[in-house]
Amino acid sequence: MKDFFRVVDIGEVLALRPGFGRLGTETVALSGAFGRVLAKDAVSAGDVPPFSRTTVDGWAVAAASTFGAGETNPSLLKIAGEVGMAEIPAFALARGEAARIPTGGCLPKGADAAVMLEHAEAVDGDFIEVYRSVAPGTHVIMKGDDVAAGEAAVPAGTRLRPQELAVLAAVGAARVEVFRKPVAGIVSTGDEIVPADRTPGPGQIRDMNASALSGQVAAAGGLPRSFGIVPDDGDALHAVMRDALASCDTVLVSGGSSVGARDFTVETILRFPGAEILVHGVAISPGKPTILAKIDGKAVWGLPGHVVSAMVVFEVMVRPFIESLAGLSRPRPRPPVSARLAMNAPSVSGRTDFVRVRLAAGQGGGLDALPLFGKSGEIRTMTAADGLVRIERDDEGLAAGTLVDVFLME
Amino acid sequence: MKDFFRVVDIGEVLALRPGFGRLGTETVALSGAFGRVLAKDAVSAGDVPPFSRTTVDGWAVAAASTFGAGETNPSLLKIAGEVGMAEIPAFALARGEAARIPTGGCLPKGADAAVMLEHAEAVDGDFIEVYRSVAPGTHVIMKGDDVAAGEAAVPAGTRLRPQELAVLAAVGAARVEVFRKPVAGIVSTGDEIVPADRTPGPGQIRDMNASALSGQVAAAGGLPRSFGIVPDDGDALHAVMRDALASCDTVLVSGGSSVGARDFTVETILRFPGAEILVHGVAISPGKPTILAKIDGKAVWGLPGHVVSAMVVFEVMVRPFIESLAGLSRPRPRPPVSARLAMNAPSVSGRTDFVRVRLAAGQGGGLDALPLFGKSGEIRTMTAADGLVRIERDDEGLAAGTLVDVFLME
């Protein structure tokens, strides 16, 4: 097969995501749910908090009883009782009354605010003077303020951060249904490639791509599974891809930077019945020789052999596909960091360029982005980099001093 | 014990980190090292790459043989041989010669550049015409360009990102020595608190803090270990803290927002022989009633009971302590995101305020930061938030329209 690249834009590639669906679900304990994607709205059976409570030590009051109070003209309130911790007060407050209450205590009926201990003084065992007026709602959280009964406390498709775990605990979701983690099979190809634990022989080098891609899969919330190194042999690659497809949700084949090797990956993909090549060449740099195929409904990627190119393609295209598979429908913004380009970054019109940059404190107090030029086989430029700057396909480069968005590679 | 707060600044708290040392190390497989902190410089035994190699399919040349070549006056070069994949060429190139070479092939002696296949044409079996001149180094990576023999490929104290894993693979570090993950014991206190899997009785609420803090510990690279909920009872808290100290590297006790409960935490800490209270009150909001103690050389934190306060204190102070314990000495910048404040954010002079904000697309193309005001017991403000804006202690608030730094809570 010797077809020319039908080079497409990044946007066209990303638009193919829905064609791969999303994974099934599993139920996990809340304590192990950090970073997972919620599969069903977490609807609260009851109100959170389940009763109106104070947030300070002090006195429960009807706010109106304190209106106009100040240092020189305190309100005189009758002590109607005391609320203990973890108890529902049996009494109600009338206007002009107050009840001693601890932080987190349940407001008596009739109370809608609390006065801090230090803003009141006991006159005797029966009365207090309040030196500051409070508005309704001051120093209290009313029943249902956090989550109302029947409300979706956390919507499906949300990646669970610590605060979402807290809300799930509050609504009693001790076990939660989440999407399965996408399993990504990782295959390196090349006669000259040896694993990290082997000393390269003459003309051989160690495999960097499998390690880089495994880390990126993990960072994207997936589970990397290594299928080792396959020599440039169609039958061998076919056998490994068949294994990988049987046990993984998506497969990443890297290597084959030469035209021959690329053809070889495409030929091997097309040996699978029903396989479709959806993308063969993307208008980006680095990363042009990217392949996306569909086999048995699964995304199979042919990534460039140069490690920097493979990493950029992962970040820009593979990661969004993995997140889509993982059910992430409400991605939190990962907003870029703003920095000033420290030198000119040339680019070629007609493709989207991704320039590696290192961030440093700028002169004006902001950040400078220092472009790291280097070959796409050199991992050095990636370890020195903090992030990527995107140069759009119609731009012919960016001038020094331009304010750019830096997408962090963490 | 009824001492007044000796309120200190965040900076004074952070300066105490070195007093807690760093953890021991363990050796893990490279495939499981993502996100870990390297304990020893990874020094390369050999050069990476171990030989000079091409990055394109084409012709190995001495660059000087192509100087002056162009479409109209090609250089005529003699074919000296062909380099196979994964082999060291036995021949050398003289000036005026070229050798066919695949991507990743080993340069013959005498070659210092490569001409892409499409920029040359075979005249016959013995000669090619080269239509473009190349400079020394073009389309090749020279031996040791990525990492020179004896060089520290990744320095100790670095958190391993995908690209660092790639370099470690390249230098043959199939197993790496990393710092142990800090184990953080998490204890919730309060008579009114029940676990997430229980229906709260009258006046009771479910524990949110343990879930939030567990997620934050995991996000910081630590291992959370839950010690459940302890009632407001000195002996019970003492026993649980003793257990936690025996098996954890640091302990987080949350709850006890009332003055009485805080005293109670302090009293319990002081029952441990040699215990020191290092901090009792920090000039921040939310989070003022924070306690830091040292027991058996370990950091024991008393965090506010309100979940938002506990989370902010973790992010601002506990996390840096955990990272220090974890050996992180070269933190990558986690630069804030720049956004325009969408409304006034008032603040009180004399303390550092942390305002929760939600990010939204602004009118001018940038981001707007919308302050989320709410009580520190309301987790709702945290789930709606994308990050925190810090208002310095001498500021009395920030006006709408101010460009602010937003620290993401991911």
Per-residue pLDDT tens over the stretch A246-261: 999 999 999 865 566 6
Neighbouring C-beta atoms of residue B67, cutoff 10 Å? 11
Which pLDDT does position B375 carry in this prediction? Answer: 84
CB contact under 8 A, A167 and B379: yes
Cα separation, B26 vs B29, in Å, equals: 10
Which residues in B lie closer than 8 A to residue A146 (C-beta atoms)?
A: 378-380
**What is the fold of A25-48+145-179?**
Molybdopterin biosynthesis moea protein, domain 2 (3.90.105)
Q: Domain spanning B53-141 has what CATH number?
A: 2.170.190.11
CB contact under 8 A, A162 and B190: no
3-state secondary structure of A262: helix
Chain B residue with minimal CA distance to A228? B31
CA angle A44, A49, A55 (to 5 degrees): 155
State the pLDDT confidence band at A26, using cuts at 50, 70 and 90: very high
Sequence ranges of the domains in chain B: 10-23+181-325, 25-46+152-179, 53-141, 337-408
CB contact under 8 A, A214 and B141: no
pTM over 0.90: yes
Range of A182-196, A334-348, A356-370 with top mean pLDDT: A182-196
Over the stretch A131-187, which tens digit does the pLDDT of each residue have?
A: 999 999 999 999 999 999 999 999 999 999 999 999 999 999 999 999 999 999 999
State the pLDDT confidence band at A375, using cuts at 50, 70 and 90: confident
Which pLDDT does position A362 carry in this prediction? Answer: 87
Q: Per CATH, the architecture of B10-23+181-325 is what?
A: 3-Layer(aba) Sandwich (3.40)
3-state secondary structure of A375: coil
Q: What class does CATH assign to B25-46+152-179?
A: alpha beta
pLDDT mean over A321-337: 84
Which residues in A lie closer than 8 A to residue B41 (C-beta atoms)?
A: none
Return the percentage of chain A with pLDDT > 70, whole number.
96
Compute the nearest-CA separation of B60 from chain A (Å).
Answer: 15
Whether A333 shows a pLDDT value over 70: the answer reads no
Least confident of A192-196, A322-326, B334-338: B334-338
Compute the nearest-CA separation of B16 from chain A (Å).
Answer: 26
Which pLDDT does position A410 carry in this prediction? Answer: 76
Cα separation, A183 vs A244, in Å, equals: 10
Whether A1 shows a pLDDT value over 50: the answer reads no
Backbone angles phi, psi at B72, to 5 degrees: -90, -20
Report residue A131 as tokens. Answer: 């030196």
Whether A2 shows a pLDDT value over 50: the answer reads no
Over the stretch A50-76, which tens digit does the pLDDT of each residue have?
A: 999 999 999 999 999 999 999 999 999
Per-residue pLDDT of chain B (410 residues; tens, 9 = 90+): 445 557 999 999 999 999 999 999 999 999 999 999 999 999 999 999 999 999 999 999 999 999 999 999 999 999 999 999 888 999 999 999 999 999 889 999 999 999 999 999 999 999 999 999 999 999 999 999 999 999 999 999 999 999 999 999 999 999 999 999 999 999 999 989 999 999 999 999 999 999 999 999 999 999 999 999 999 889 999 999 999 999 999 999 998 655 666 678 999 999 999 999 999 999 999 999 999 999 999 999 999 999 999 999 999 999 999 999 999 986 665 788 889 999 999 998 899 999 999 999 888 778 999 999 888 888 989 999 999 999 999 888 999 999 999 999 87
Which pLDDT does position A22 carry in this prediction? Answer: 95
Alpha carbons within 13 angstroms on the beta-carbon side of residue B244 total 32
Which pLDDT does position B1 carry in this prediction? Answer: 41
Neighbouring C-beta atoms of residue B275, cutoff 10 Å? 16
Which pLDDT does position A255 carry in this prediction? Answer: 83
Chain B residue with minimal CA distance to A103? B258
Cα separation, B394 vs B397, in Å, equals: 9
pLDDT mean over A187-212: 94
Selecting from B145, B202, B215 the residue whose C-beta is nearest the C-beta of A162 gives B215
Least confident of A2-16, A59-73, A104-118, A185-199: A2-16
Domain B337-408, CATH 2.40.340.10 — does that match? yes
CB contact under 8 A, A104 and B257: yes
Q: Which residues does residue A280 pair with via DSSP β-bridges, in sequence order?
A: A6, A291
**Reported ipTM:** 0.93
Least confident of A27-36, A294-303, B246-255, B388-397: B388-397
